[in-house]
A and B are shown apart, each in its own frame.
Chain A
Amino acid sequence: SQQGEEDPQALSIQEGENATMNCSYKTSINNLQWYRQNSGRGLVHLILIRSNEREKHSGRLRVTLDTSKKSSSLLITASRAADTASYFCATDDEDTDKLIFGTGTRLQVFP
Chain B
Amino acid sequence: DGGITQSPKYLFRKEGQNVTLSCEQNLNHDAMYWYRQDPGQGLRLIYYSQIVNDFQKGDIAEGYSVSREKKESFPLTVTSAQKNPTAFYLCASSIVGTGKAFFGQGTRLTVV
Interface residues of A, Cβ cutoff 8 Å to B: 1-3, 6, 30-31, 33, 35, 40-45, 48, 88, 90, 92, 96-104, 106
Contacts and interface: CB of A to CB of B under 8 A. Distances in A.
Interface of B: 6, 31, 33, 35, 40-45, 48, 50, 56, 58-59, 88, 90, 92, 94, 96-97, 99-106, 108
A43 B88 CA distance: 12
Contact of B99 (A30, A88, A102, A106): A30
30 contacts: A1-B44, A3-B42, A3-B44, A6-B42, A30-B99, A31-B99, A33-B100, A40-B88, A40-B108, A41-B106, A42-B90, A42-B105, A42-B106, A43-B90, A45-B100, A45-B101, A45-B102, A48-B99, A88-B43, A96-B56, A97-B31, A97-B96, A98-B45, A98-B56, A99-B33, A99-B48, A100-B45, A101-B42, A103-B42, A104-B41
Which of the listed residues B35, B99, B102, B103 has the most CB atoms from chain A within 10 Å of its own CB? B99
The A interface is mostly helix, strand or loop, or mixed, namely strand
B70 to A, nearest CB: 20
Contacts of B94: 99
The B interface is mostly helix, strand or loop, or mixed, namely strand
A42 B58 CA distance: 19
B105 A104 contact: no
A29 B104 CA distance: 24
Contacts of A98: 45, 48, 56, 58
A44 B102 CA distance: 7
Contact of B41 (A35, A97, A103): A103
